[in-house]
Structures are given as C-alpha cells and as structure tokens.
Amino acid sequence: MTETSLSVPGGFQVAGVHCGIKQDPRKRDLTLVVCDRPAVAAGVYTQNLIHAAPVALDRGRTPSERIRVVVANSGNANACTGPRGMTDAEQMARWAAQACGAEPDQALVLSTGIIGAYLPMEKIAQGIRAAADQLGSDDQALVNAAKGLMTTDSTHKLAGRRVRLDSRRIQITGMAKGAGMIGPNMATMLAILMTDAALDKGAAQESLSRCVERTFNCISVEGHTSTNDSVLLLASGTAGGGPLAGEELSLFQRALGEVCEELARAIPSDGEGASHLITIEVAGCRDHASAKQIARTVANSPLVKTAVAGNDPNWGRIVSAVGYAGVPLDPRHLRLYLNGVLLYEDGQPAVFDERQVSQSMQKNRETSIRLELAEGDARGRFWTSDLTAEYIRINSDYRT
C-alpha cells in the first residue's frame, strides 16, 4: 500500500540557509542533506556535452554505497568555469564532508544558477557551516532545504510517499527545483530523492534511471537542455531488512515513480511566466519511443504553446507537429482530443463548439492534449508549459 506522506526519511537531516550568493537575504541559496551513515547513492545527469563541474564530480562518484552528504547551492551554476570550477566543486565537497564528519569522497555537489561566474567560496564555506548548525528532520527543515535549491521558481517543490511492505514501512521524499531552461533528457533542474529503504547500488541506479526516463525526461518548458541537470537518489537503509528485491522492489519503484512524476509535473507547471500546464498523451503507437517522440515534438512547438497561452483550440498546429515528428504513421487514422473534446479525426476536423473549448482552456490551469493513432498499443506522455510574454520578460533581463 502506498500513501502520500511528506517527512524526512530515517537517517537523514536537512537544512537550507542564505549564505549571500543571492542578494536578497530572504532567499535561501545553500542546502545540506546529511545521512548519519554511509548511504547508497545513484545519479542521473544532463546529456549536454557542455556540463558543469558538479556534474563531472558526481558522475565520478555514483553509484556508490558510501555517500554521507549532498551540498547544493543556487544562484551560481559553476558551469563553464574551467579548471577553477572543478577545484571549487571539490572544495565544496571537502567542506561539506568535514561538516558532518565524513571523508571528502563521501560528498556530492549540486549547483544551479547563472552560467560562467565563479563561486564566491568564502560565502559557500560560511553557508555550509551555518547549514550544518541548523540540520534537522522536522517539516520546516525540509521546506528550508527545498527553498535552498530555488532560482526562478515561484515556490519550493516537495513530494513524498510512504510504502507499506509485508515486512517494513519505507519513506520516499524528494525535493526539486526548475522553472526555466527545461528540455528533454533533463534541463536546468535539480532533484534530491531520499529514502530509508535498503537498496543495493545496482538496484538504486536502475530504479532511478527507469523513473527519470518516464518523468523528468518527459518535461519541457522551452526545450533547452542545461549544463547542470542532476537527479540524485540516496538510500539510508534505516527501515531495516536486507536490500529490496522482487515484489518489494517493484512496489518501491512504483512509489519512487509517483514521487518523481509529482516533482516533474511541478516544474513545467511552475514554468517561467506559464499560465497553463499542458499534458500531452499519445496512444496507439508502435513503441514507447515513437509515442514519446510525438509527444515531445508537440510539447516543444512554440505555435502549440502560444495557442494554449491564448486559449485557442488551434488543432492545425497540433496535428502538423505530429506530422513532422519523424515517426511513421497513417494520418487517416489520427484523432485529437483537447480537454476531452474531439477536434480532429480521419484526416479532417470534427464538429465542435470552439468557444466552449476555448472557455475550458481559460477556466483551467491544466490543458489536456490526447492523440490517438492506429499503429500499435504503445503509449507515451509528456508535460510542458505554455509560452507567454512574461516568459520573454523574465529571460530577457535574467542577468541584467
């Protein structure tokens, strides 16, 4: 049995503080996640060939069975910073490890923010010390830690599930950030997932990779893959018993997928300037990859996104995006539903009340696009945001 539950899993303490990377003292910009014992850790990272120093460091340290701490900063990506960037990431790891009595190679590092600026290391050092003094496992500590990841996010993002197994109960809790520069194969987003389940590192890596592929890799705001994308999973094992396997592992993976999906949906929902969260579902494909490719193509169409922003049920933009997705299909057997209303079928528009559909878009923050093909039984899903003038304003003066 799985139920919604937000709490810090056993073995972990967290904190989020303001250390001065961001000018506004009300905004937290450094987060610590500490485990009281060596934790199993897995990671999935950006596919951008130009990636930040923390990504390179963490890739070399995961999967692992001995991670004790994650230190994350926001407001500065430590990306495109050359050898000094790697030196600074390693120093952050040493300071974080020292703060919790761990070895330097037992620490992972996350950074997000402006690209091409060096980290203010004195402020980072001060922030790590301050966060170490404020570590806790209460609800406020969890919120503070999630806020420490935020950049242009309008709100912090948390999700959790409690799973009841035959022999034990386990908790999975995740925090994430992301609102812009979001594209498939992850984008400017960070996520830290914690669990008290016992996992071996192979199962942890496989579980995380599988969940990321169907959640965080199925979101987009503008299709821009960033330099810093990272999703980490840490398992303390304090729930007891041996490493999960068989049906118990399957139940864990299902719950982990639910946490990842909730966090993933929250990112385009919070897309910079967004007024709609758009869910694109594609059914009737030869395989999952084809369904995902069609959904991704529709999601990344500026014309589709602006139509939704204007509450315009412009089915032609959606159908034409399907046609250039690069997936073989018979266009005579394509159906399109928007918010449950059939707009297009069998190569021609259906009869529908355009005003009624437009009003349904205007009255609801969520817009549903469903495409049905006749090529097979596979399906896929993608989430994106609409594209508004506010997005342009935010990103045109992001640095200046």
390, with CB counted inside 10 A (0-12, 13-18, 19+), is: middle
- Angle at alpha carbon of residue 193, lines to 190 and 195, rounded to 5°: 170
| Cis peptide bond prior to 63, omega within 30° of 0 | yes
Instruction: Give the start-end residues of each E strand in 178-259.
Output: 190-195, 219-220, 230-235
Q: Which residue type sits at 81?
A: T
The catalytically annotated residue of 112, 151, 173, 188 is 188
For residues 144 and 395, what is the distance between their CA atoms, to the nearest angstrom?
26
For residues 376 and 30, what is the distance between their CA atoms, to the nearest angstrom?
48
**Farthest CA pair distance, the chain:** 68
Helix (H) or strand (E) holding 22: none
> Catalytic annotation on 297?
no
The residue among 135, 141, 54 whose CA lies nearest residue 101 is: 135
Bridge partners (DSSP) of residue 107 are 69
Neighbours of 25 (CB within 10 A): 9
Distances (CA, A) of 362 to 302, 312, 367: 19, 9, 9
The residue among 121, 185, 141, 117 whose CA lies nearest residue 17 is: 141
For residues 209 and 222, what is the distance between their CA atoms, to the nearest angstrom?
23
* Pair of tokens at residue 293: 């490719």
Asked whether 80 and 258 are in contact (CB, 8 A), the reply is no
Q: 63: helix, coil or strand?
A: coil
- Residue for token digits 């204007």? 310
Active site residues: 188
